[in-house]
Amino acid sequence: MLSIWISRIGSGNYANFPQLDGVSSGKILLPVVIEIKKHLQVLQQSFHGYFQPEVYVSHGWMQDPLIFNLESMDDNDGMK
């Protein structure tokens, strides 16, 4: 999600920032946009430490328990 926001704001699309879109005025806005983009990049990097890839595989049942395929989990997984 953040990568989409970073890409959008970098290309001048402020759809995810409606207040910013309302006041956009060229050169005056550029320093603000640069800071927002930097902040989003730092935020994106910090999230990598919180969410490990294996969590998505072994705990997919938490996201959507009614359609999750239990056969995709290892039989030795304590959660199963």
State pLDDT tens for residues 30-72: 888 899 999 999 998 888 767 655 555 556 666 666 766 767 7
* Highest-scoring range by mean pLDDT, 5-9, 25-29, 37-41, 56-60: 37-41
Strand (E) or helix (H) holding 49:
none
Q: Spell out the domain ranges in the chain.
A: 1-49, 52-80
> What's the rounded Cα separation, in Å, for the pair 10 and 6?
6
Whether the model pTM is above 0.85: no
Gap between the Cα atoms of 50 and 17, Å rounded: 25
Q: What angle do CA 26, 44, 19 make, to 5 degrees?
A: 35
